[in-house]
Structure 1
Amino acid sequence: MTEEQKNTKLQDNIEMDAENQSEVIFDEVSEEAQMGNDAESQDELKAAQDKIRELEAKIEEMDNRYLRLQADFDNSRRRARLDIEAAHKYRAQNLVTDLLPALDNLERAMGIEADNDQTKTLIQGMQMIHNGLLESLKKEGVEVIEAVGKEFDPHIHQAVMQVDDAGYESNIVVEEFQKGYMLKDRVIRPSMVKVNQ
């Protein structure tokens, strides 16, 4: 039997007990009223009616408390489920955040001019490592934010410079200084960009 079924059964029992009590009191008072002493029986009838109203008020209060408790329970269960889903969805966020500076440094190192075969071989090796890291991050849902040639979006781009370049339309990203990354639908790091006015 689930917790909700137990709570419903408990609530039903409370309501039945209260109704039974009020019926018994009402029956007793009615019998006494029929037997005589109208003035005395009227007082007892009034007292019984007051008791019935008191019991009904308690039932209503308990109903309200039960409904509030049930709503609180449902809300906490829903919040816990959402927290678990978010934790699972973004489990790689800390690792990705820690890896981004290393990726940036690797990209800077690959940008040097190779003047001999040994350096070219070294750069090719770094390129393979870089591609492997990006592929692994992609499997976790990490994507590079497109910037150059795109319209500036303050949610995914961080403007650090503005230029007036006739070769680009207004509010278009002209240059990217640092790559931005997203994990699924969450921005891990916005792209640092130069924007045309």
Structure 2
Amino acid sequence: MEQEHNGDGIMEGDFDALRGALEQEKARAEDNLNNLKRAQADFINYKRRSEVEKTESVGLGKSLAYMSILPVLDDFGRALAAVPPQSAEEPWVQGMALIEKKFRQLLTREGISQIKTVGEQFDPSLHEAVLRCRGEEGVVVEELQAGYTFQGKVLRPAKVKVSCEDIEE
């Protein structure tokens, strides 16, 4: 078997072998580059998912904290509603009213909104009907307990009295 020489002293068979090895190395380099690009994309997606999960986790933690505060706000409202008219101007009553007002302002600053109820159409995603009465179908006529949302999600549905046309009193 005789091999031809090119002008540089490399045999033609060696040249073909080198060309084949070069093509294999190019293919490996291309595979490695593609693997690197996939790994980078996976890492970027991982970072995004981690940020979303972190944000959701913080939001959940805040939601739980706010939910535990809402009964205290309810108690302030009930206590102030129970104050006799002749005591309404006493300093301790004014102090409690100021505390409740600041409490509500704090919740508003944190993104907590009270759900609208009286006069609104009953919405089961926002309202919990606990009583019914005769009247225009599906209208909230009384709020029994305030409901709240945080970042567009219901923290606690409002407990309401809803009117119905087909109820007997």
5 Å-filtered alignment, 1:113-192, equals: 114=84, 117-118=86-87, 121=90, 122-161=92-131, 163=132, 165-166=134-135, 168=136, 170-192=137-159
2:3 aligns with none
Give the unaligned 5+ runs of structure 1. Answer: 1-26, 34-40
Contact 2:133–2:161 (8 Å) recurs in 1: no
Structure-2 separation of matches of 1:52 and 1:195: 80
Secondary structure, in 3 states, of the residue corresponding to 1:72? Answer: helix
Give the unaligned 5+ runs of structure 2. Answer: 1-5, 165-169
Q: CA deviation at 1:102?
A: 0.7
Could you say what the CA RMSD is over the residues aligned between the two structures, in angstroms?
3.3
Q: Which amino acid aligns with 2:134?
A: D
Structure-1 separation of matches of 2:133 and 2:76: 32
Structure-2 separation of matches of 1:71 and 1:54: 26
Q: Which amino acid aligns with 1:98?
A: S
Percent of aligned positions with the same letter in both sequences? 30
Q: CA deviation at 1:133?
A: 1.2
Structure-1 separation of matches of 2:19 and 2:125: 66
TM-score by length of 1: 0.62
Q: CA deviation at 1:106?
A: 1.5
Structure-1 separation of matches of 2:83 and 2:35: 74
Stretch deviating more after TM superposition (88-97 or 183-192): 88-97
- Give per-residue Cα distances to partners, 1:15-41, cap 9 Å, x unaligned: xxxxxxxxxxxx9xx9311xxxxxxx3
2:77 aligns with 107
Residue 72 of structure 1 pairs with residue 39 of structure 2: no
Structure-2 separation of matches of 1:179 and 1:94: 17
Residue 61 of structure 1 pairs with residue 31 of structure 2: yes
1:195 corresponds to which of 156, 159, 162: 162
TM-score by length of 2: 0.70
User: What is the aligned residue count?
Assistant: 156
Q: CA deviation at 1:174?
A: 2.5
Q: CA deviation at 1:127?
A: 2.2
Structure-1 separation of matches of 2:144 and 2:60: 26
C-alpha distance 57-196 of structure 1, shift in aligned 2 (>3 A) = farther
Secondary structure, in 3 states, of the residue corresponding to 1:147? Answer: coil
